[in-house]
Amino acid sequence: MATREKPTLDPAVARAVIDPASYAAWDPLLDIFDRLREEMPVAWAESQDDHVHPPFWLVTRYDDVMRMSKDNATFLNNPHTVVFSLTEGIEFAKKMTGGSEHLVASLVTFDGATHMKYRKLTQEWFMPKNLRTVEEEIRGIAHAAVDRLLEGGNEADFVKAVSAPYPLHVVMQIMGVPEEDEPRMLMLTQQLFGGQDDDLNQSGIKDLPPEAITQLVAGAVADFEAYFAKLTAERRANPTADVASTIANAVIDGEPLNDRDMMGYYIILAAAGHDTTSASTAGAMLALARDPEQWARVKSDRSLLPGIVEEAIRWTTPVQHFMRTAAEDTEVGGQAIAKGDWLMMNYVAANHDPAHFENPRKFDAARSPNRHLAFGAGAHQCLGLHLARLEMRILFETLLDRIESVELAGEPARSKSTFVGGLKALPLRFTAA
Ligand code: HEM
């Protein structure tokens, strides 16, 4: 029998779990999740102070997050937004779109048969077999990143030199965006999704008055559309092997995709493909820089690398949550959930669940099995997971070949973000091989 009362979060905890700063501080948040998994694994979170948001269920146990992820008929990606947002953000999206809570319609905002049709268009492209055709190209990008790292002497910020630009460059190459247009794409993505961390919010969007933000976002959408309309026309005239050609020439129910849908596809790939892999890459480097013996071991035995990559993805959990909406009255972990309720699947909490991961805060490259939830599960499971692993493996092969030893040269810092988070600074000292 599911319980009907709502186990409600203490106000300070409810505030902490949606505070971007908690995700930067990290350990105190993990302490909160440890308590919640024990005492209130499915907890009702209500608005606190001036941080007004629709109430939601916070789900922290691995088994519950896994079950929800796989039950795509009961836990929908509609109509509520799939990324936690304050009410003002939701109202803003509705104003921009004429009623939808999703600022951009894309794979993550579709459900059921529509989602499958859109996903199938590029699914093949992201499978290991096809990715082998871009391996050498990625290796070239990895070498260029390591050149940049070594250029400035024996100290550098790994995030600035390598982990931030490298995955962005890979995803842009794959999409068919020429290198000279990358800064524009980065700026547009930031303008569209804002940015909760002051250091990373280079577009300065948060400091603007609301009307100016509306104009800026509308301008970014128009600019994106115009850019990709041109790229689409080029790829229809002269198709190549890149993702842009696949999308430009895709047909759903006998019709080519319209400009809006194509833009949504490009935006989700551009947005999903860089900050995420940057975070797990920087996390892997942090773990290795703190453990010189592990660096030396993997330098001589590359078979250890896949374990390091997988553990770095769990340990960092770059995508910290996704939201779902209950399609009907149901239950999660014995707690009654009403039709229409909004739920947060917290992947950070799930990936630190001791029921599945012994000593979960420890970076353990030998962890086996390591069935983490950092890529989600079910119908929406990360489309780019093979690409992310491949990018990390190739980059670390290159680093291990070209760098003899590495250590921390200062304090690493995490970004303030409730959604995609990770290191924003990782000062390193190293010697070239
Ligand atoms: C979806 C994580 C890298 C493209 C997702 C989801 C997560 C995630 C948690 C949602 C899963 C769910 O709802 O069950 C990550 C992590 C990455 C990463 C941790 C790096 C370590 C990438 C890359 C790409 C990519 C490199 C491609 C360029 C996508 C797309 C979706 C997605 C298109 C939506 C899939 C759908 O809704 O069907 N990712 N991702 N991701 N990811 Fe990734």
**Mean pLDDT in runs of 10 for the chain (433 residues)?**
84 95 97 98 91 96 98 98 91 90 91 96 95 96 96 93 94 89 79 64 61 76 84 93 92 88 86 91 98 95 97 98 98 98 98 98 96 98 98 98 97 94 96 93
- What is the CA(277)–ligand 1 centre distance, in A? 10
Kind of pairing between the strands at 413-414 and 403-408: unpaired
* Residue 319 Cβ contacting ligand 1 at under 6 Å: yes
pLDDT reported for residue 407: 97
In the block, tokens 């797990």 appear at 280
Please state, in angstroms and rounded to a whole number, the distance separating the CA atoms of residues 42 and 57: 6
Report which secondary-structure segment, H or E, holds 337: strand 335-337
3-state helix, strand, coil in the chain (%, to 5): 55, 15, 30
Q: Where are the domains of the chain?
A: 11-432
SS3 category, 56: strand
pLDDT in tens, 301-337: 999 999 999 999 999 999 999 999 999 999 999 999 9
Report which secondary-structure segment, H or E, holds 306: helix 305-316
Nearest CA to ligand 1 atom 17: 276
- What is the CA(375)–ligand 1 centre distance, in A? 6
- What is the CA(108)–ligand 1 centre distance, in A? 9
What letter would DSSP give residue 161?
Answer: I
- What is the CA(380)–ligand 1 centre distance, in A? 8
Short-list 426, 418, 424, CA closest to 194: 418
* Residue 383 Cβ contacting ligand 1 at under 6 Å: yes
* Residue 346 Cβ contacting ligand 1 at under 6 Å: no
Short-list 307, 291, 176, CA closest to 232: 176
Atom of ligand 1 nearest to the CA of 110: 37
* Residue 118 Cβ contacting ligand 1 at under 6 Å: no
pLDDT in tens, 86-136: 998 899 889 888 999 998 889 999 999 999 999 999 999 999 999 999 999
CATH architecture of 11-432: Orthogonal Bundle (1.10)
* Residue 376 Cβ contacting ligand 1 at under 6 Å: yes
- What is the CA(26)–ligand 1 centre distance, in A? 22
* Residue 268 Cβ contacting ligand 1 at under 6 Å: yes
* Residue 390 Cβ contacting ligand 1 at under 6 Å: no
Q: What is the largest CA-CA distance in the chain?
A: 64
pLDDT reported for residue 202: 53
Please state, in angstroms and rounded to a whole number, the distance separating the CA atoms of residues 375 and 380: 9
Nearest CA to ligand 1 atom 43: 382
Candidate of 104, 382, 396 to mutate for ligand 1, largest count of ligand atoms within 8 Å of Cβ? 382
In the block, tokens 């980059």 appear at 395
- What is the CA(264)–ligand 1 centre distance, in A? 14
CB atoms within 10 A of CB 233: 11
Q: What is the pTM of this model?
A: 0.95
- What is the CA(12)–ligand 1 centre distance, in A? 31
Sign of CA dihedral 284, 144, 198, 383: negative
Q: For the stretch 341-366, what's the b/e string if a residue is b when 16 or more beta carbons lie within 10 angstroms of its beta carbon?
A: bbbbbbbbbbbbbeebbeebeebbbe
φ, ψ for residue 427, nearest 5 deg: -70, 125
Please state, in angstroms and rounded to a whole number, the distance separating the CA atoms of residues 299 and 246: 38
SS3 category, 72: coil
- What is the CA(3)–ligand 1 centre distance, in A? 33
* Residue 269 Cβ contacting ligand 1 at under 6 Å: yes
